[in-house]
Structure 1
Amino acid sequence: MKDKKLEANLSLVGSRILAGLNMNALKYLLPVWMGALTGVTVRCTFAAVAFWVTGWFVKEAPITRRQRIGLLCLGAFGMYGFMFCYLLGISKTTPVSSAIFNSLQPIWVFLISVFFLHERATLMKIIGISLGFGGALLCILTQGSNDLAHDALTGNMLCLLSSVFFAIYLILSKKLLEEIGLVTVMKYVFGGAALSGLVISTIFGWDAPLFTDATHGMWHWMPWLILTFILIFPTYLSYWLMPIGLKYLKTTVVAMYGYLILIVTSVVSYIAGQDRFTWEQGVAIGMICLSVYFVEVAERRR
């Protein structure tokens, strides 16, 4: 079991580092080279095809019709809802702000566990949650729109909502992974997300200058290279690695690894000029880190 836990932790380290780089890569693409809605559809469709192809070579136990429908619904609402808010949000705000709200996932996991799974709330956990919300509120109220974030308030609210969707996805997929194989879960979840994406993109239209420019003989190698990186590594490989960690570790521990996303995104953002550091961001990051510390210390003491 120790080997499995080591494998799970290493898988999460790799997955979250790729997820951190994903925020910077998406900020480069969105919305100049690709609209957010089209980006969600492209990512989900690619992942669905990749995991279904992988399923041809990985033999897992068959699942029931009820399980299949449950996975498709989880993908159509949970995974698509997360990616919809996440990509739309990051196209309007900065990567670091997006990562700050992503770090709230352990708080949402705990709150959902309290209200729906009857977990006990303690004083330390309440203090932690208050600090987390205070940090998020500070970031929302103090960040103004500028050349790096054309609609920071809307973007931050969408990123906040995306972290709620992902916390719900973590809890539900954790339960499903106890009885269903990893590849089976991924191919049906992304299959459901791809169906939602294709329907919504068909209704609201496709927005991808990267593709239309290429058809007119203009080759922009950098955005194509970044899109390829996003599809192969943060989309396919990262979501391949994450369920390994989710299967052997607690959901709150998996959510804690979101701090790696914040670290990687912050470092790359400041180097690449995608964000400018402010004291409000620093205080918000500190408050959210403290909030999850309180929640986790309370959890371990219990």
Structure 2
Amino acid sequence: MNKIRILSIIAVFMVQVIYGLTFTFANDVIDAGHVRPFGFILLRVLGATCMFWLLSLFTPREKIETQDFVRFIVAAFFGLVLNMLTFFKGLEYTTPIHASVIMTVVPIVVLVFSSIFLKERITLLKMLGILLGFSGAIILSVYGRSTQSGDDIVLGNFLVFINAVSYSIYLILLKKLATKYHPFTFIRWLFLFGSIMVLPFGYSELAAVEWHLFTPYIWLSVLFVVIAATFGTYLLNPLALQHLKASTVSIFLYIQPVVAGIFAVIMGSDHVNSVKIVASALIFSGVYLVTRRPKS
């Protein structure tokens, strides 16, 4: 395994660790009632957009073909607009544990889409890795459910499922863009188009925010979601996709339920037992099998 591939795997691993923490942070902000879901999304996208365009001032310029702007708009819709709107609205009705487990359908959807649109070969090793990871996630969900139910679990879970499918489509589109342009080139346009599309949904909710009511923890959670879970992850994912297959990147999503469980233990809301250890081992084994390169 070469150095670039190792760094790419570390990058995509960090993305899933950040996302695993985001379920709790975002849910706490929404449950506190200080920011409504769509207002939170607009704040998240606008904040990251500003950071990406500031970053572009210090990076080389690259010419973009006119027809590719249509791809940017479509990728922004699936990767930012539909993805975030359904995720945050879903968190309003469901729990972080439910949401993180539902997201484990992404590798399966990406694997199917990759074989159709990217002509990626589905190997037996990959299928075994996905089966192991999915089994671990299911076991973890059965024994790791939150004691507090959302207002409408079924609706919330359905919205998170739509988010998962949307994210899968985004990864496929992103793979095509990442092989043609450097991430610094297209990611700023992706967020600019995304912020324009999100604006009508979140403007009124963001305008109604009473910032003086924010506690230090709420401020920390908001900053984490904007800086780490948006700017950081949307920068690392395309960098990793330059050297990894879309299906390989998606399998790392199985790490999210593990991170959610570990974070719950740290926060004192859960405990470790043998079942959770076995489930975590299955998930990481699945990730290992999928990321292994077949011998020539």
How do 1:15-164 residues align onto structure 2 when only pairs under 5 Å count? 15-31=15-31, 32-117=33-118, 147-164=148-165
Q: Answer whether contact 1:82 1:165 (CA < 8 A) is retained.
A: yes
Does residue 253 of structure 1 match 2:248?
Answer: yes
Give the CA deviation at 1:55. Answer: 0.5
Give the CA deviation at 1:53. Answer: 1.0
Equivalent residue number for residue 7 of structure 2: 7
Q: Secondary structure at the match of 1:103?
A: helix
Indicate the larger mover: 190-199 or 288-297: 288-297
TM-score, structure 1 length as denominator? 0.79
Equivalent residue number for residue 185 of structure 2: 184
Amino acid at match of 2:220: L
Amino acid at match of 2:244: L
Equivalent residue number for residue 235 of structure 2: 240
Amino acid at match of 2:10: L
2 CA distance for matches of 1:189 and 1:148? 35
Equivalent residue number for residue 210 of structure 2: 212
Runs of 5+ unmatched residues, structure 1: none
Q: Answer whether contact 1:74 1:192 (CA < 8 A) is retained.
A: no
Equivalent residue number for residue 219 of structure 2: 224
2 CA distance for matches of 1:47 and 1:63? 21
2 CA distance for matches of 1:85 and 1:285? 27
Q: 1:153 to 1:250 in 2, by over 3 A?
A: same
Q: 1:147 to 1:27 in 2, by over 3 A?
A: same
**Alpha-carbon displacement from aligned partner over 1:38-60 (angstroms, at most 9, x marks no partner):** 11111111111110111111113
Runs of 5+ unmatched residues, structure 2: none
Percent of aligned pairs with the same amino acid: 26
Q: Secondary structure at the match of 1:91?
A: helix
**Alpha-carbon displacement from aligned partner over 1:227-246 (angstroms, at most 9, x marks no partner):** 11221111112222222211
Amino acid at match of 1:194: S
Amino acid at match of 1:49: C
Give the CA deviation at 1:170. Answer: 0.7
Give the CA deviation at 1:25. Answer: 0.6
Q: 1:227 to 1:219 in 2, by over 3 A?
A: closer
Give the CA deviation at 1:119. Answer: 5.8
Q: 1:122 to 1:107 in 2, by over 3 A?
A: same
Q: Answer whether contact 2:251 2:290 (CA < 8 A) is retained.
A: no
Q: 1:289 to 1:94 in 2, by over 3 A?
A: farther
Give the CA deviation at 1:177. Answer: 0.9
Q: Secondary structure at the match of 2:26?
A: helix
Give the CA deviation at 1:2. Answer: 1.8
Amino acid at match of 2:9: N
Amino acid at match of 2:26: L
Indicate the larger mover: 130-139 or 163-172: 130-139
Give the CA deviation at 1:89. Answer: 1.4
Q: Answer whether contact 1:140 1:153 (CA < 8 A) is retained.
A: no
Amino acid at match of 1:187: R
Give the CA deviation at 1:13. Answer: 2.1
Q: Secondary structure at the match of 1:160?
A: helix
Q: 1:87 to 1:274 in 2, by over 3 A?
A: farther
Amino acid at match of 1:192: F
Q: Answer whether contact 2:84 2:163 (CA < 8 A) is retained.
A: yes
2 CA distance for matches of 1:212 and 1:242? 33
TM-score, structure 2 length as denominator? 0.81
Q: 1:167 to 1:283 in 2, by over 3 A?
A: farther
Q: Answer whether contact 2:22 2:229 (CA < 8 A) is retained.
A: yes
1 CA distance for matches of 2:114 and 2:179? 18
Q: 1:294 to 1:244 in 2, by over 3 A?
A: closer
Equivalent residue number for residue 198 of structure 1: 199
Q: Secondary structure at the match of 2:109?
A: helix
Q: 1:259 to 1:124 in 2, by over 3 A?
A: closer
1 CA distance for matches of 2:235 and 2:268? 30
CA-atom RMSD in angstroms: 3.7
